[in-house]
Amino acid sequence: MRSTTRLIALAVTTTLVAVACGDGGHPTAGEGSGRPGEATVVRVIDGDTIVVNIGGTTERVRLIGIDTPETSHPRRPVQCFGAEASIRTKALLPPGTSVLLVRDAELRDAYDRLLAYVHRTSDDLFVNLDLVRSGHAAVATYPPNVAHVDEISSAASAARRAGRGLWSACGGPDRPVE
């Protein structure tokens, strides 16, 4: 009985996520969503991972195309500028913020997180890109999810040249806190 209930719950969640985020990289209308691909931020886990509510279902979302320094990875040390990246994402996406989730080629990553480009609906801020521009994130390319790789890479180069964020504080990404 328990395994049947779990399978039904998994099927319902998978269906809601697929409907909310659509196929082929373009969101489609989801049950209970206002606009296609719309969700509400529940909380920020770290600089590049958030929790959202999609039509009554809670989902972890990994922001595509970027990587922020680690703050909560179970097997990695806290990295330089990780706390600042998390604070920046929390400032951009406080609980209750309405966001538009846009897919790329793959729906989920190896950790079963929904993969998305995140746009704040109030002003259409492209959050993934903003984090890179401000120096709170670096580029992380995982083909086939590369729809915005040129735009994000260009922003990262500009942030590095200007010494923004982690580029001046740490000399680049992936540095442990000293």
Is 113 among the residues known to form the active site? yes
- Find the catalytic residue in 113, 133, 160, 164: 113
| Number of C-beta neighbours around residue 111 at 10 A | 8
* Third-level CATH fold of 2-169: OB fold (Dihydrolipoamide Acetyltransferase, E2P) (2.40.50)
What is the DSSP track for 112-157? -PEEEEEEETTTTEEHHHHHHHTTS-EE--BTTB-TTHHHHHHHHH
Report CA dihedral (53, 57, 62, 64) to the nearest 10 degrees.
-80
Q: Is 59 a catalytic residue?
A: no
112-162 per-position pLDDT tens digit: 999 999 999 999 999 999 999 999 999 999 999 999 999 999 999 999 999
Q: Walk along the chain (178 residues) in steps of 10 and give the mean pLDDT of each run.
A: 43 44 39 69 97 96 95 78 94 98 96 97 98 96 96 97 92 68
Q: Please pick, among 62, 88, 133, 160, the residue that the annotation labels catalytic.
A: 62
**Annotated active-site residue in 70, 84, 88, 133:** 70
Catalytic residue list contains 2 = no
For the chain, what are the domain ranges?
2-169
The pTM of this model reads: 0.79
